[in-house]
Structure 1
Amino acid sequence: MNQDKKSGLEIGIYTLADIGPDPLTGNTITAKERVKEIIQAAKLADEAGLDVFGVGEHHRLDYASSSPAVLLAAVAQGTKHIRLTSTTSVLSTLDPVRLFEDFATLDLLSDGRAEILAGRGAFIESFPLFGYSTNDYDELFEEHMDLLLQLTENETVTWSGNFRPSLRNAEIAPRPAQEKLPVWIGVGGTPESAVRAGRFGVGMALAILGGPPKRFKPLVDLYRQAGIDAGHAAEALKVGVTGHAYIAKTTQQAKDEFYPYHSNYWAYLNRQRGMGIKPSRAEFEQMASPDTALFVGSPQQVVEKILQQYELFGHQRFLAQLDIGGQPFKNVAKGIELLATEVAPIVRRETSK
């Protein structure tokens, strides 16, 4: 198993910890239950031999995770091998020193398994919550990223910027167990974000939630070119793909079982954004067709989709979000098992050739 894991694409799962009603039963679980399920999912993923487990950050009552580092610290105690990452940390409104120190602590707790995936966030509720203005959306991210990367490099930091007090020979403690804490940037779909990730020389995680994957190819090319132009080594420029997934014995079964939850997820997500739109079954069928990025189907269908994207991007990591839309935990557990036992071995074999 371990020998197998070292070659080919890294495969993992992530959660944003959304709390929605189960559309089939009308049941909504509590935040306490959701958090316990997330820890259980991480243990299953670790035991099954998956490579990465991620937890998101939202500051809303319909999500159970506002502090990925704390949740991942709990996960670290119940797992042995799986890498632990935020997906994503909202870097624009987090203090980079606090973020670094939290994840350096997680790294010590987990024997060197921690990573930070930083993003600008899909929602903006953290801006008023922590006293920032959305007018500074881009500048905040740029400045905080600059500081975060300096913290990963140096034990003592001297730094100044516009949005937080300057640092003068500040001791940044603790230092992580790894020589350097890995940092990635999450990118939704803008060329500017891809170029920024390349310029900083960190990994780029692409959120691909639907449509044809080939429309993301220009972003991967821009990222790699920007990284090389900025003087970073090509092998340091890692690409990850993240997306919604549901796996069942047959593709028809996967679509039939997943549609109510997928539709429910978009219904409450769009409602949070002030739109009442819910995808119809016909729209879902289109979104789940073989040449799109929605990873729904039999293990074979999901393998084909991952490999199709690998042909396009030559990426290093794939993370599946298996638990959207108020699904019962048994569905998620089944998805983890199928991903680890029927999808991952073939993908690793094919991508390590």
Structure 2
Amino acid sequence: MKKMSFGLMTFLETGLSSEGFMIDHETRINHALEEVKLADELGLDYYGIGEHHRSDYAATSPEIILAAAAAITKQIHLGSAVTVLSSDDPVRVYEAFATLDLISNGRAEIIAGRGSFTESFELFGYDLRNYDQLYSEKLDLLLKIRDHENVTWNGKLRAPFKNKTIYPRAKSSLKISIAVGGSYESVLRAANLGLPIVFAIIGGNPLNFKPLVDLYKKTYLEKGFKEEDMEIGVAVHGLISSDPDILEKYYPSHHAQFSKIASERGWPSYSKESYMANMKRGPFYVGNKEEVTKRLLSLIQGLNINRLLFHTPGSYMPHEMTMESIRTYGQEVVSKLKKSVRK
């Protein structure tokens, strides 16, 4: 497997009005540029922005924000987390990220997913009944565009084209990873295509993902891909703070965000007891640097992964707390994790 890498991701959370500290999209976007600049200075490997089309996130166009980030950073890789490929056009996706790749001198990446949030489907005129087929077809087209300058393609849900050239071309083969939740189908798709995978974990004990990780490894190797090229990532929410009351301070924001999602999807209400349980045993890594380092090491070793994307803050928190979390993650937590992983 490839060497361990450490990154950050965000949905550009703006908070909910009931929390009392909702910020506007302009402010949140500019805060994100400060975050990625700091992440670059700290030597982190990746900064990803997840596409959403709703008021509580400010990231409808990650590529534009990432292009701005490319101008103020030097080495960090920049990409999506995720691109909702099912409701986008693969030609436009490739063109946008290839442009970003040129602006950033080869630092662009795509993490493609089907989309946990579905607002973009109605917004861009797609039928949710075609949820799976849209993704399969568009991923096929995106990979063909990535791998071939001249493309002929035919599908059922998008107009075909013949002998079309797609420009600009990325500096090298644009890295495309597959984001998955808990779907066996998605895991098998990534492994069968030999693509890097990122597991987004937002519920339950993260170590319960071990069978899916093992399924990916087994299928990937059976398809004849090289073990040294294998990349398995995990994305988890977290916030690192020296404040001893951080769990109490994080709760209102986290509760408001996840209660809204639960209400939209018909999930059970999100209690404070559930919150505390998730903070101690589940997929949320909130606490001081010692606690978070210990738990993240357990995650890395338990799942045997080689990429970690730390989604901070996950739910909106004041900018200075987010910057403290990034600084501590980059300066102290990552260095300790690297040393422990090498042992």
TM range (shorter): over 0.9
Q: Contact 1:241–1:317 (CA<8 Å) still a contact in 2?
A: yes
Secondary structure of the corresponding residue to residue 78 of structure 1: coil
Q: Contact 1:34–1:64 (CA<8 Å) still a contact in 2?
A: yes
Aligned partner of 1:241 in structure 2 is 234
Aligned partner of 2:115 in structure 1 is 121
Q: Does 1:201 align with 2:194?
A: yes
Aligned partner of 2:169 in structure 1 is 175
For normalisation by structure 1, the TM-score amounts to 0.91
Aligned partner of 2:218 in structure 1 is 225
2-structure distance, mates of 1:240, 1:279 = 29
Letter in 2 for 1:332: T
Answer with 85-94 or 149-158: which moved more. Answer: 149-158
Aligned partner of 2:269 in structure 1 is 277
Q: Deviations over 1:179-219 (max 9, x none)?
A: 21011111111111111111121111111124222210011
Q: Does 1:267 align with 2:259?
A: yes
Secondary structure of the corresponding residue to residue 278 of structure 1: coil
Answer with 267-276 or 40-49: which moved more. Answer: 267-276
For normalisation by structure 2, the TM-score amounts to 0.94
Aligned partner of 2:299 in structure 1 is 309
> What is the identity percentage for the equivalent residue pairs of Structure 1 and Structure 2?
38
Gapped regions of structure 1 (runs ≥ 5): 1-6
Q: Deviations over 1:239-269 (max 9, x none)?
A: 111011011237x543233223222221233
5 Å-filtered alignment, 1:23-42, equals 26-42=20-36
1-structure distance, mates of 2:161, 2:214 = 36
Q: Contact 1:264–1:278 (CA<8 Å) still a contact in 2?
A: no
2-structure distance, mates of 1:237, 1:143 = 24
Q: Contact 1:49–1:340 (CA<8 Å) still a contact in 2?
A: yes
5 Å-filtered alignment, 1:180-195, equals 180-195=173-188
5 Å-filtered alignment, 1:1-353, equals 8-21=3-16, 26-177=20-171, 179-249=172-242, 252-273=244-265, 277-280=269-272, 282-289=273-280, 291-353=281-343
2-structure distance, mates of 1:58, 1:140 = 18
Distance 1:82 1:22, change over 3 A: farther
Displacement after TM superposition at 1:23 (Å) = 6.2
Q: Contact 1:9–1:352 (CA<8 Å) still a contact in 2?
A: no
Distance 1:333 1:20, change over 3 A: same
Displacement after TM superposition at 1:27 (Å) = 2.8
Q: Contact 1:8–1:348 (CA<8 Å) still a contact in 2?
A: no
2-structure distance, mates of 1:118, 1:352 = 30
Secondary structure of the corresponding residue to residue 299 of structure 2: helix
Secondary structure of the corresponding residue to residue 283 of structure 1: helix
Secondary structure of the corresponding residue to residue 60 of structure 2: coil
Q: Deviations over 1:108-130 (max 9, x none)?
A: 00011100000011121211222
Q: Contact 2:83–2:113 (CA<8 Å) still a contact in 1?
A: yes
2-structure distance, mates of 1:352, 1:170 = 47
Secondary structure of the corresponding residue to residue 78 of structure 2: strand
Secondary structure of the corresponding residue to residue 71 of structure 2: helix
1-structure distance, mates of 2:223, 2:257 = 39
Letter in 2 for 1:157: V
Q: Which runs of 4+ in 1 moved over 3 A?
A: 21-24, 271-276
2-structure distance, mates of 1:162, 1:327 = 44
Aligned residues: 342
Q: Contact 2:241–2:321 (CA<8 Å) still a contact in 1?
A: no
